[in-house]
Structure 1
Amino acid sequence: MPASDASEDRDPEQPDGDASPVSTTGPASRQPLRSAAFRWFLAGQSISMAGSAMSPLALAFGVLQVTGSAAWLSAVSTAALVPMVATLLLGGGIADRHRRDTVLRLTSLGAGLTQAGVAFLLLAHQNPMFLLPLSALNGIFQGLTKPALRGIVSNLAAGRGIQQASSLLASVRNATRILGPTAAGLLTASVGGGWAIAADAASFLLAAAFFARMSLPDLPPRSDGAPTMIGELREGWGYFSSTPWIWTVTSAFAVFNAVNMGVWQILGPVMANDTIGAEGWGLVLSTRGVGALLAGVVMVKLTVRRPMVPALSAMTLGAVPLILLGTGANTFWLAATAFAAGVASEFFTVVWETVHNTHVPQRLISRVGAHDEFWSFVPIPIGQLSTPLLAATFGTVAVAVTGGTVAAVAMLVPLLVPSLRRIEINRDSE
């Protein structure tokens, strides 16, 4: 990707003039819990994340119960992922042009309706072919949602409140990850994965109702000479591609995500189905959530002056569970390494979201965030589709161990960029 020497040499501690943190007027606050808009957003997100925490395990074992095929699981997962990735950039343009609370209401409603359809098909044991279009529609709504979520924190919080808001959201997200997989595993083992998917559908619909109570200020009217949607999308790409500290991290996660989603989310449930079962796999995922919750709580108060080096270095721990999964580790060791991976992953997530909201211009946040997610998600379908084939050819041990090693190395490569190592956060916290 193109990157100018000027952007390489630019000190990220001195952002562009329009990259300054959002004003504390309106709903944005340095103490986000005092903002009614943020409280409604937090409530809606909490409900939505509670349902979504059950969805991956429930969908995986629900599809396996109906089809008994890893290929079908891969196809259904990919059917949702490809449209989601394809609509991310459009979602970034929409979220920067329209009120993000309105976007979230509409996309949550759509996601709830499509998940309800998936739940019905699983509960009724219908032909799995019908899951594909519903999964695709759900992926579209998710693709339109993610850029709005990436940008809305800076609408609701300012200064040090940005990291506090991100940490609060991370804490809630990880609390649901602790309970969600275990609940999904128990539901799946007792009455089937369709009921957990139905709960996810209900959570989207309830979240839409909460988002309806959240009101952001109207955007300024657009002038006659304002850029078109295409022009604005090009502007977002120009900023992203000329900022090495962003696109190098995105590239690293493109590799990491492809490996992780292929090995952990595709091979993981298939291997667990024959060994530790849905309950054991749910326990492993929940333990990862415990680690992530711990990190999220700590990050509410912890400030690291230059956080990108420790954040990316810690992410190498995220590759260890992949290696142990391939070597046939038992539930205890999978859970222990998943806990460490959860701590590392959430530490990085809070740091990256805070850096993004602090250093990227407010008017570009959703578009740049969309590029970050788009390019890091594009290789995931390749990983999901190729992993079963590679495992059949070379064996699960070779695929998991090699993939885990590659993922760990990928996390260290961005540290070669000087501007990334110099990034500071919370510089305006006082």
Structure 2
Amino acid sequence: MTLAPTPARRGRAATLLVLTALLISTVGDEIALVALALRGADQSGLTSVVSAQMLAGLLPGILLGGPIGRIVDRHRADAVLGVTLALECLVAAAAAAVADGVVLLVATMLLLGALGAVAQTCVMALVPQLFPESGVQLRVNGVMESMRNAGYVVGPLAAGLLSAHGGTGLALAADAGTFAVALPAVPVISLWLARAAGPVSETAGADDDVAAENTATTAKTEGGLRTGLALLWAGAQRRTTLTTIVVTVAATSGINVLLPFFTEDVPGGRATYGLVLAVWSVGLVLGPFALRGRLARRPTATTAVLATTVIGLAYLVVGARPLVPLMLTACLFGGMANAVQNVALRTYVMSDCPPDVRGRVGAAYGATLQSSVAVGFALAGLVPADWARWGIVAGGAVGFAAGTVGWSRGRARSLTPMPDEDVPLIPGQVAAGGRS
């Protein structure tokens, strides 16, 4: 007789499968980004074309947050994820064959950016379904973050090697293959979700069934991005946490634009620039493993805010003391804090969100962070190249100050008895609470 797998075994197997699919698809995302950028540079010879491609990949997550959230809430997230992976495979394959002109290259980035935003929203909705407990979510999100960041390291390397030996067409064909390989994970995830839901009782009253169906339909169809943003920012603690994150991300994301100019005056020049990015990426992979012991037991909102303080301090050190060993040490800890912030904030949002609105809240979460990144990029464009170092110092200082103020306010709130601040999320529902 074959024994059914225990919930613990199913959980471990589901984790491994989701992580493997995530790593493969993230590698695919990065291969597409690098390959299309290289093709755009070769075809046009203009930096403006590559810049337009980068913005085209970023904008759909901001502008289409409402429709994406409604799609994920209205339909099963696993089914939407399966369709999304299949479409990404088709778009990448088509790009390998026909995306040669500037318009087609930008359009391809728009399509892949939109599909990537849908996939990320699906993952945010699926993780709480597979792992309902907040503590387990934190561990799973930590490992997922490491796997995703490993994909950010492997993807560009693979794209560079493939493009060098077979052109960007080979790289894009390999990109399509990564999505095809990740696709079989979806029906297995669907099976586990069905088992976790259990059989539906046939003794329930018909009136109750109709009422429940009507309520669910209303919850899943009302509102879009505005609704998701309202839910995401509901409650004083969530507003404090998210404001801190948004300010820090806007202040520090522009540093990515300034770093190439800054490192021209640092020993090693371009080589140092590459080393800084590589060390930060290593920190991104290692960071989630720091979520152990006391740090794992802290409220996730507090952990996210503390991590923003470390990120700001790391950039402040990089700009203030441009000594290569010190810069690399700061980047290692900054990358680790960056990953911890991502994990803690994502868990905070997931664990504090009713099931029927996870899609809209997840889309609003992505749109909020991407908007902050876009603001940082725009502000960095106003800084003269000769002032790059002081722009980095200013961005790091703002991030450090925002994190310190946010942590102080959060600590003051935790020490002061506060009234219940739960607020209605949708008709007939109330938030699970403003604290992690």
TM above 0.5:
yes
Whether 2:136 is the aligned partner of 1:161: answer: yes
Residue 203 of structure 2 aligns with which residue? Answer: none
Q: Deviations over 1:55-113 (max 9, x none)?
A: 55555565445545443332211112112211223222222222111111112222333
User: How far, CA to CA, are the matches of 1:331 and 1:172 in structure 2?
Assistant: 28
1:287 maps to which of 279, 288, 291 = 279
Q: Is this contact kept in 2: 1:32–1:38, CA < 8 A?
A: no
- Given the alignment, which residue of 15, 19, 27 partners 1:50? 27
Residue 215 of structure 2 is aligned to residue 240 of structure 1: no
Query: 1:156: Cα distance to partner?
Result: 0.7
Q: What are the equivalent positions in structure 2 for 1:270-309 lying under 5 Å apart?
A: 283-299=275-291, 303-309=296-302
1:95 is matched with which residue?
Answer: 72
Q: Which residue of 2 aligns with 1:41?
A: 18
Superposed displacement of residue 328, structure 1 = 10
**1:388 and 1:422 mapped to 2: Cα distance?**
39
| SS of residue paired to 1:76 | helix
Give 1:350 shift: 2.2
Q: Does 1:337 align with 2:311?
A: no
List gaps (5 residues or longer) in structure 2.
201-208, 416-436
Corresponding residue number in structure 2 for 1:348: 341
> Is the CA contact 1:115–1:201 (under 8 Å) kept in the aligned structure 2?
yes
The alignment's TM-score, normalised by the length of structure 2, stands at 0.74
Partner of 1:107: 84
1:366 paired residue number: 359
2:376 aligned partner: 383
Alignment of 1:119-130 (within 5 A): 126-130=100-104
CA distance in 1, matches of 2:373, 2:214: 40
Kept after mapping to 2: 8 A contact 1:181/1:283: no
The one-letter amino acid paired with 1:155 is: Q
Pair 1:147–1:179, CA change in 2 (3 A): closer
Partner of 2:213: 223
Q: In structure 2, do the counterparts of structure 1 residues 307 and 101 end up closer, same or farther at CA, with 3 Å as the change threshold? A: closer
Tell me if structure 1 keeps the 8 A contact 2:219–2:357: no
* CA gap 1:325/1:416 in 2 versus in 1, 3 angstroms: closer
SS in structure 2 of the partner of residue 353 of structure 1: helix
Describe the SS at the equivalent of 1:43.
helix
2:149–2:284 Cα contact (<8 Å) kept: yes
| SS of equivalent to 1:101 | helix
Question: How many residue pairs get matched?
Answer: 392
| Alignment partners' CA distance in 2, 1:263 and 1:190 | 33
Is 1:71 the counterpart of 2:62? The answer is no
Q: Does 1:142 align with 2:116?
A: yes
Matching of residue 257 in structure 1 with residue 234 in structure 2? no
Q: Percent identity?
A: 25
1:22-50 deviations in Å (ceiling 9; x for gaps): xxxx9995x47645444432221121123
Post-superposition CA distance 1:378-409 (Å, at most 9, x none): 243343345334335x7433433323322333
Shift in Å at residue 356 of structure 1? 2.5
1:223 counterpart SS class: helix
* Structure 1: distance between partners of 2:91 and 2:326: 37
In the alignment, the residues of structure 1 paired with residue 410 and residue 371 of structure 2 have an alpha-carbon distance, to the nearest angstrom, of 26
- 1:384 to 1:111, Cα distance in 2 relative to 1, 3 A: farther
One-letter amino acid matched to 2:281: G
After TM superposition, give the deviation of residue 154 of structure 1 in Å: 0.8
The answer on whether the counterparts of 1:75 and 1:385 sit within 8 Å (CA) in structure 2 is no
RMSD: 4.0
Query: Contact 1:89–1:367 at 8 Å: present in 2 too?
Result: yes
Q: Which has the larger radius of gyration?
A: 2
